[in-house]
Amino acid sequence: MKRLLLLGVTVFLTQAEPALARDPPLPAYVVADGQTGVIIDSRLASQPRHPASLAKLMTVYLAFKAIGESQARWDTTIKVSAQAALQGGSVLGLRVGDSLTVEEAVMAVIARSANDAAVALAEYLGGSEAGFASRMTEQAKKLGLMATSFKNATGLSAQGQVTTAADMAGLAMALRRDFPADYARFASRSVSWKRQQLPNLNGFLGAFTGAEGLKTGFTCPAGYNLVAAAQRDGRRIIGVVLGARSKEERESLMAQNLSRAFRGGAPKEQAASLEKASLANSLPDLSGTVCAGGIVPGDSSGNAGTSSSYPSGWALELSFARQAGKAHRDLMVAQSRLGLGGQALVVRAPFSGDVRYRGLLAGLSEESAVKSCLNYRTKGGDCLVLNPQMLKGAFEEQRRLARFIARD
């Protein structure tokens, strides 16, 4: 665990504030004919935006493709890794060592936007989430989505992860065109999990007559996103909204756009002719508008670090890594070497403008924490002692970073 102390935490957060204070742009949108791809209406269609959980549409696309090419089966069992289990935001609640089928994972991603299921699926299909993300970007390019790049399977905000409204419309069309037999899964009103029927989180599915589903998404930088399709009187319309300021705005704007299109809006341009925005352009950041004061709307999920209650006592930081799974594994090894009890936790932390994972062993007495750390260092180990205030600060830090977690 070689790293600098987190002296740059305050700098990371304060430097971000000026960007958050700017007035966000209007929501970007595209309305397209679902049969021909003709653009009926659009605004800021080529402007780079954060995809948030809309990235999971490509995760699902690659899962459908793997099934179609016999690289996987719907009943194949997937084991849940530490990295998958430690995901925040919208989750199924998977634990390390749990198992689920490919079909259960896909449906959890579609209906529940489950980040843990998305990572488990990505690791199974791609060997690692990073490897799978590279395949997601490659597939985007094959589909002609040249302004889209993926860095993970969930939509968690990451440098270089970007899309446009035009590209998301193209992806929605590709899902129906390439996988007509599986496309109906997006219209599922619920998903079965552990003898429960969990409702689809996509509220637009039941609110708009003829809606066929697809995907919602939210992070604080992205704002509220939605890709939707609907069919009336034999005509199908696809809509995309990126960067709305609220759930109500994204659903209202989508409903207005689709309704206008069904009434007979005049085509304006072909999807293929839309000018592709440069990936070098800066992405709008809606954090200061939709998550003012670092508060994520409706965040009552109870995930670690989002609650006002914190582990008690002193703690040791025993690992620090780029990936949650590695931080967890290193933490388990260190705890075993120390022979200590306590509560093993992995929390997110800002680091040089990025995010890292801290492996903490909490619930210790001051004497036990200090003595164990000193003893561990004499044996060549690396550790950091956290008093109760520092431990609380670690969780407050993670709560602020929750604004970057993919949700719906």
Residues carrying an active site annotation: 53, 56, 113
Alpha-carbon distances of 67 from 39, 138, 158, rounded to whole Å? 31, 18, 28
The amino acid present at 175, given as its one-letter code, is L
Contacts of 139 (CB under 8 A, 6+ apart): 58, 61, 62, 65
Only one residue has tokens 């304060």, namely 14
Main-chain phi, psi angles of 31, to 5 degrees? -125, 125
Closest residue by Cα to residue 160 from 354, 400, 310, 403 = 354
Cα–Cα distance measured from residue 211 to residue 186, given in angstroms and rounded to the nearest whole number: 10
* Angle, helix 366-378 to helix 324-338, in steps of 10 degrees: 90
What residues are paired with 240 via a beta bridge?
30, 227
Cα–Cα distance measured from residue 114 to residue 106, given in angstroms and rounded to the nearest whole number: 9
Closest residue by Cα to residue 350 from 16, 25, 2, 68 = 16
Q: Is 3 exposed, middle or buried (0-12, 13-18, 19+ CB in 10 A)?
A: middle
The amino acid present at 249, given as its one-letter code, is E
C-alpha 331: how far from chain center = 25
H-assigned helices in 92-211: 102-112, 115-126, 129-142, 165-178, 204-207
